Amino acid sequence: MNDGDMQPAEACERAYIGLGSNIGDRERFLTEAVRLLQEHLLIRVTGQSSLYETDPVGNTDQGPFLNMAIEVTTTLSPEQLLEQLMETERQLGRVRDIRWGPRTIDLDMLMYGDVRRQLPELTLPHPRMHERAFVLIPLIEVLELHHQPQAAPLRAFLERAEGKEGVTLWKKMQ
């Protein structure tokens, strides 16, 4: 191998993504989203939570969701990762016509390393994740897989979060 073949090692960041679906074969949409992300050359899925069935929040006149969280490592920037999440949603038929409405798949970047951003298209950490049991329960589960320190403070938010009774284990993934 010559020096021209060497690729510089890029630092990987750990990011956490919340996934949800409440149209059609919900489990298949979640599984397909994880598979599509894993197939990306610069994204590795390194952990995933169990699946949780959750009551809808916001627009409650719709079917229940399946929710989960995954941990990925990536060399993509937060903006590039967001673009890949949106592309994955498009590939799985996501239509954005009703805010908080029914959807085949919803992918939300919850955290990206220690990055804090407030842009029109991306706020990190996710601005409402601390209020939502359907996000916190799977996120804490995936954080605890690798003993991440962020799990402890999020548990305190979960104690105060509304809607815990509307989140039930649907399928254990580990």
- Which alpha helices (DSSP H) does the chain contain, by range? 26-39, 78-91, 133-145, 151-160
- Which residue among the candidates 3, 106, 116, 128 is catalytic per the annotation? 106
Q: Which residues of 28-52 are buried (b: 16+ CB within 10 A; e: fewer)?
A: ebbbbbbebbeebeebebbbbbbbb
User: Is 14 annotated in the active site?
Assistant: no
- Which residue among the candidates 94, 116, 117, 155 is catalytic per the annotation? 94
CA dist., res. 36 & res. 84, Å (int): 10
- Which residue among the candidates 14, 26, 103, 132 is catalytic per the annotation? 103
User: Is 94 annotated in the active site?
Assistant: yes
CA dist., res. 41 & res. 43, Å (int): 6
| Identity at 152, one-letter amino acid code | A
Both tokens assigned to 93:
């038929």
- Which residue among the candidates 28, 44, 55, 108 is catalytic per the annotation? 108
Where in the sequence numbering do the catalytic residues fall?
Answer: 94, 103, 106, 108
